[in-house]
A and B are shown apart, each in its own frame.
Chain A
Amino acid sequence: MATPKLNPLYKFQFEKAQDAFVLLYPEGMITLNGSAGEIIQMVNGQRDVDTIISELVAKFPDVEGIDKDIHEFLDHAHEKKWIKYVE
């Protein structure tokens, strides 16, 4: 099962001023929305995608179609090179 980790080029942190999670990189910043922030927060090079999904389903039991959202976002994040998959 694929296990994502953060691309070391990016630094992930919560920004009080933005009231959001952000990805920082040389001279730039990407502000993540609420759900994107929750997902990236789970990415640590240890949890595989299934684990991320089951933990987020447990955390947000009322959100429908959460697994599809997570897959979509991870695809996007991979394409943008924010994350990589551990071999």
Chain B
Amino acid sequence: MSSKPVLKTDVKNPLWLLAELTYDCPLHCPYCSNPVQMSERKDECDTETWKKVLSEAREMGAVQLGFSGGEPLLRKDLEALVAHASELGFYTNLITSGIGLTEKRIKGLKEAGLDHIQLSFQAANADENDLIGNKRHSFEQKLAVAKLVKQYDYPMVLNFCLTRQNIDKIADVLALSCELGGDFVELATVQYYGWAYLNRDHLLPTKEQLVAAEATVNRFRDTQGDDEPKFIFVTPDYYETRPKACMNGWATTFLTVTPDGSALPCHSAKILPLTFPNVKESSLEKIWHEDFSFNKFRGLDWLPSPCRDCDEKEKDFGGCRCQAFMLTGDMHKTDPVCDKSPDHYLIQAAIAKSKQPRENLFYRDPKTDIPVHLIQE
């Protein structure tokens, strides 16, 4: 390559590629992080485009690859893409709801070289699980899938999304995880992006619920045997006073490609008022190093006050751009989670507001009629 005019020389290449193969999903979780306005299936990248993306990302040094969605199993070429990825030397992760994961497919994926399966649950019992995902018999199917995952010798990560509705039953979640033999278990309090942001007032647990749940997990950890699952508890940052180091810093480590081929520094960045490049039109190398949006929040030079003069800026890089945008309307601002931010009151107001939700709870469904002011908020 002869000239790269806007190349920043200290830029590290991505290590992680998240391939969102489709937004389609048989479930309708109200906390789904997919965008509220989803692109359509006809715009999805074809097999050849995905293969090109995988090859280019691997060439740049990416080593972890997540196939996600939506429900990636809805793509008939999943096996072909996994085979291509594992030939390239990726560690391949399938992030699935389990719906549609038959024995035939789990076997085919193993033969293709799939390394790991992450299976999500909506709750630890059939009634609540099927209600939250809005699909009957889905719990039953997930249990069967968990057995198959073990039978075919995959490392198994279980993922439980915790919300105000299910967090009080965390002890059941711990018990079920042990019974199913998960290797790692993510107890992930929902983060408020996409549909989860829309439904935040319903989903945000109270501080008391969180404290109690975390204590239950800690007590359980103390009694655990050596071969039992490792529990990872993720708290929502609304109750923190410092933001998360979002994506380990903008465009430093992670690269997401959405179903229609948009390349993003983070899976929720599409909501920002930026124009993101598309892998159908450009190479990943060029996108990562030269694209305006990817360079926009790279490093620390762009930081606003009070981050600019803060001695913690190397730790969190001013927090999450999407959160700043959703809450303040300005993506350049300090993440309002930080209590040094003049906008921190917005987080406190959101917590207060969540105590009395005024809108309905929406299931994730492209056909849902969402009040316009909620999309714009």
Closest chain B residue to A18, Cβ basis: B61
Within residues 1 to 41 of chain A, which ones have a CB less than 8 A from any CB in chain B?
A: 8-9, 11, 13, 15-18, 22, 24-29
Kindly state whether residue B157 has any CB partner on chain A within 8 Å: yes
Query: How far does the alpha carbon of A22 sit from the alpha carbon of B15 in the complex, in Å?
Result: 13
* Chain B residues within 8 Å of chain A by Cβ, number: 18
Q: Which residues of B approach A to under 8 Å, CB–CB?
A: 13, 15, 60-61, 63-64, 66, 89, 91, 93, 115-116, 118, 153, 155, 157, 183-184
Q: Cβ of B115 and Cβ of A11 under 8 Å apart?
A: yes
The 9 sampled A-B contact pairs (Cβ below 8 Å) are: A17-B13, A22-B63, A24-B64, A26-B118, A26-B157, A26-B184, A27-B64, A27-B66, A27-B93
A-B pairs with beta carbons under 8 A, tally: 42
| Chain A residues with CB under 8 A of B155 | 8-9, 25-26
Q: Which residue of A lies closest to B116 (CB)?
A: A26
Contacts of A25 in B (CB 8 A): 91, 116, 155
* List of A residues within 8 angstroms of B116 by Cβ: 25-27
Which residues of A line the B interface, CB within 8 A? Answer: 8-9, 11, 13, 15-18, 22, 24-29
CB distance from A18 to the nearest CB of B (A): 7
Give every chain A residue within 8 A of B61 (Cβ-Cβ). 15-18
Residues of B within 8 A of A16 (CB): 61
Do the beta carbons of A24 and B157 come within 8 Å of each other?
no
Q: Considering only CB atoms, which chain A residue lies closest to B227 in the complex?
A: A81
Give 20 A-B pairs besides A15-B61, A26-B184, A29-B63 with Cβ atoms closer than 8 angstroms: A8-B155, A9-B155, A9-B183, A13-B89, A16-B61, A17-B13, A17-B60, A17-B63, A22-B63, A24-B64, A24-B91, A24-B115, A25-B91, A25-B116, A25-B155, A26-B116, A27-B93, A27-B116, A27-B157, A29-B64
- Nearest Cβ distance between residue A47 and chain B, in whole angstroms? 23
Known pairs A24-B91, A26-B118, A29-B15; A15 contacts B63 (CB<8 A) = yes
A16 to B, closest residue via Cβ: B61
**Which residues of B have CB within 8 Å of A11?**
91, 115
Q: In the bound complex, what is the Cα–Cα distance between A17 and B63 (angstroms)?
A: 9
Taking CB as reference atom, which chain B residue is nearest A25?
A: B155
- Collect the chain A residues with CB atoms within 8 Å of residue B93's CB: 26-27
Complex Cα spacing A24 to B66, Å: 13
Cβ of B63: which chain A residues have Cβ within 8 Å of it?
A: 15, 17, 22, 24, 29
B64 surroundings in chain A (CB, below 8 A): 24, 27-29
Q: Is the CB of B183 within 8 A of A26?
A: yes
- Cβ of A24 to closest chain B Cβ, rounded Å: 4
Closest chain A CB from B223 CB (angstroms)? 19
Tell me the nearest residue of chain A to B61, going by C-beta: A17
Point out the residues of chain A lying under 8 angstroms from B13, CB to CB.
Answer: 17
A11 and B153 alpha carbons, distance in the complex (Å): 14
**5 closest pairs, A vs B, by CB?**
A17-B61, A24-B91, A26-B116, A9-B155, A26-B157
Give complex CA distance A35, B184 in Å. Answer: 28
Q: Kindly report which residue of chain A lies nearest to residue B186, judged by CB atoms.
A: A27
Please measure, in the bound complex, the distance between the C-alpha atom of A44 and the C-alpha atom of B250, giving whole angstroms: 39
Q: How far is the CA of A11 from the CA of B93 in the complex (A)?
A: 13
CA distance A18 to B89 in the complex (A): 14
B15 partner residues in chain A, CB cutoff 8 A? 29
In the complex, chain B residues whose CB is within 8 Å of the CB of A29: 15, 63-64, 91
- Residues in B neighbouring A13, C-beta threshold 8 A: 89
Distance between Cα atoms of A14 and B64 in the complex (Å): 14
Which B residues touch A26, using CB under 8 A? Answer: 93, 115-116, 118, 155, 157, 183-184
Q: State the CA gap A23–B118 with chains docked (Å).
A: 19
Distance from A21 Cβ to chain B, minimum over Cβ atoms (Å): 12
- A13 to B13 Cα, complex, angstroms: 19
Question: In the assembled complex, how far is the CB of residue B102 from the closest CB belonging to chain A, in whole angstroms?
Answer: 22
- Alpha-carbon distance A1/B118, docked complex (angstroms): 37
CA–CA, A16 and B15, complex, Å: 12
* A40 → B minimal CB distance (Å): 16
Task: Provide the residues of chain B in CB contact with A8, threshold 8 Å.
Answer: 153, 155
Q: CB-nearest residue of chain B relative to A17?
A: B61
